[in-house]
Amino acid sequence: MFWDKSAETIDRSALEKLQLTRLQETVGRVLKHVPFYQQQFAQAAIPSDVIRELADIRRLPFTTNADLRAQYPRGFLVGDGGGPVRLHTSSGTTGKPKAIFFSRGDIDRAANLAARCLVMSGNTDRDILQNMMTYGLFTGALMMHYGAEKVGMMVIPAGPGNSEKQLLLMQDFSSTVFHTTPSYALYFADFMEKKGVDPRRDLSLKRAFIGAEPYSEETRRKIEEAFGIEVYNSYGLSEMNGPGVAFECAAKQGMHLWEDHFLMEVLDPVTNEPVPEGCPGELVLTTLCREAMPLIRYRTRDITSVVAEPCSCGRTHRRIRRITGRTDDMLIVRGANIYPQQIERILMSVPGVGRNYLICLSGLDEMTVKVELSASEFDGRVERLVHLQTQLTERLRAEIMVKPLVELVPPGSLPPSEGKAKRVIDNRAL
Ligand code: AMP
Ligand code: ZN
């Protein structure tokens, strides 16, 4: 099923032609309206008609997270006729956030892309979406909300947290779909279990869209098993609309990235050269249709790779693989480069491990991984726990080349997260 079949199955040469026109328009637009880009182009002596073919994108300057912060609040805003109707901000952990503006047309196009994603993953106007993402300055909930309304789904704007109420809504209004982060999905699975709710028997859930933070295939499987549903990976970032940038189809073999709206590059984050197709690198995106805030070569810092083969669903927009980490969340512990997701993948694949974990760094370079036990394991015998602890320590050491201290803790004892989870606490005295 398609939301917009001609756009989603457009042949590659027509798509590339469309991308070229839209890229030229975007460059023209920023050069006319955005002093930041005017300066960047002038400094690097880039002519305004630089884009003759798509490959010329590589002659353009990058836009970084730091640039967005430095230009806060209005530096990237295009202030002509189609002015902004909405401000969102992107979650800054420290300091000033990034301000992201949307025109009326931008909101409508973002909703259309979200609708494509929803239909692509099997939703119809008979579905009921319980939207557990955060409403507000974060784009996560609202853009999906609008997309679902376009499809004709009934949306329950539940927002995050308050698990009692989530469960009540889910039961009383027969939600068929939910949208949340992987960490909250796992937490909610625990909550349901404690309440004695069997989702296969007591709920009407069929699928969930899980995104906003990195997670592994193992976590996907855990969520699917806990709820008896299909989980679809949903990727987006506020700078590029929020959710609905890339999303899985029914094949669940990578996420189609909507290339008529975003020009994608996958680059070696050190040399800034494109990596061979299929190899991992940093995703760099250029908006092709944004009015209020076009961005050129935005460095997402997300690491992924392109799936080269065509997809069985017939969509021609290329797919990206699950995000394996961010260039800026790499930890260096005792000289080893470690991504938190490597740890998550191991933990979630070992039976007996529950649904939450925390990586704590302390002292000179000590790593403790706190791991919740599953409810059944918690009541288990001491020898089994010792075996589990040894098994986890060894598997983690083989994966990350550092031997962590593994601390097994009771289910539900680590802090739950409603929005994006904080997985690493770094108190090192380095
Ligand atoms: P925000 O701009 O606050 O929406 O955050 C966007 C960031 O969240 C992205 O750049 C990714 O790092 C992360 N993110 C969003 N969706 C996913 C996903 N499905 N898998 C992994 N990371 C994700
Ligand atoms: Zn597909």
Summarize the confidence of residues 190-201 as an average pLDDT. Answer: 96
pLDDT band at 81 (very low <50, low <70, confident <90, very high): low
Q: Are 334 and 365 in contact (CB under 8 A)?
A: yes
Q: Please name which ligand lies nearest the alpha carbon of 236.
A: 1
Lowest mean pLDDT among 9-18, 177-186, 410-419: 410-419
Q: Is the CB of 213 under 6 A from ligand 1?
A: yes
What pLDDT, on a 0 to 100 scale, did the predictor assign at position 12? Answer: 97
What pLDDT, on a 0 to 100 scale, did the predictor assign at position 34? Answer: 97
Closest residue by Cα to residue 60 from 76, 69, 47, 72: 47
What pLDDT, on a 0 to 100 scale, did the predictor assign at position 144? Answer: 98
Q: Please name which ligand lies nearest the alpha carbon of 307.
A: 2
Q: Is the pLDDT of residue 2 over 60?
A: yes
In sequence order, what DSSP letters do the residues of 371-423 get, joined into one string?
EEEPHHHHTS-HHHHHHHHHHHHHHHHHHHSS-PEEEEE-TT-SPP-SSS---
pLDDT band at 366 (very low <50, low <70, confident <90, very high): very high
Look at ligand 1, atom 9, and give the residue with the nearest C-alpha.
Answer: 237
Summarize the confidence of residues 23-37 as an average pLDDT. Answer: 97
Which ligand 1 atom is the nearest neighbour of the CA of 322?
20
Chain centroid, CA 216 distance in Å: 12
pLDDT band at 203 (very low <50, low <70, confident <90, very high): very high
Distances (CA, A) of 353 to 241, 357, 376: 36, 9, 10
What pLDDT, on a 0 to 100 scale, did the predictor assign at position 379? Answer: 77
Q: Is the CB of 91 under 6 A from ligand 1?
A: yes
What pLDDT, on a 0 to 100 scale, did the predictor assign at position 320? Answer: 98
pLDDT in tens, 214-258: 999 999 999 999 999 999 999 999 999 999 999 999 999 999 999
Q: Is the CB of 211 under 6 A from ligand 1?
A: yes
pTM score, whole prediction: 0.95
Look at ligand 1, atom 4, and give the residue with the nearest C-alpha.
Answer: 237
Q: Is the pLDDT of residue 151 over 90?
A: yes
* CATH 3.30.300.30, the chain: domain bounds: 331-428
Percent of the chain, pLDDT > 90? 91
Q: Is the pLDDT of residue 95 over 90?
A: no
Q: CATH assignment of 331-428, given 3.30.300.30, 3.10.180.10, 3.40.80.10, 3.40.309.10? A: 3.30.300.30
Summarize the confidence of residues 349-354 as an average pLDDT. Answer: 94
Q: Is the pLDDT of residue 177 over 60?
A: yes
What pLDDT, on a 0 to 100 scale, did the predictor assign at position 94? Answer: 58
Q: Is the CB of 76 under 6 A from ligand 1?
A: no
Look at ligand 1, atom 15, and give the residue with the nearest C-alpha.
Answer: 212
Q: Is the CB of 326 under 6 A from ligand 1?
A: yes
Closest residue by Cα to residue 426 from 335, 371, 362, 358: 362
Q: Please name which ligand lies nearest the alpha carbon of 309.
A: 2
pLDDT band at 83 (very low <50, low <70, confident <90, very high): confident
Which ligand 1 atom is the nearest neighbour of the CA of 233?
19
Cα 252 to ligand 2 centroid, rounded to whole Å: 7
Which CATH code fits 1-327? 3.40.50.12780
Percent of the chain, pLDDT > 70? 98
Average pLDDT across the chain, whole number: 95
What pLDDT, on a 0 to 100 scale, did the predictor assign at position 79? Answer: 78
Which ligand 1 atom is the nearest neighbour of the CA of 210?
19
Q: Is the CB of 183 under 6 A from ligand 1?
A: no
Cα 2 to ligand 2 centroid, rounded to whole Å: 11
Q: Is the CB of 323 under 6 A from ligand 1?
A: yes
* CATH 3.40.50.12780, the chain: domain bounds: 1-327
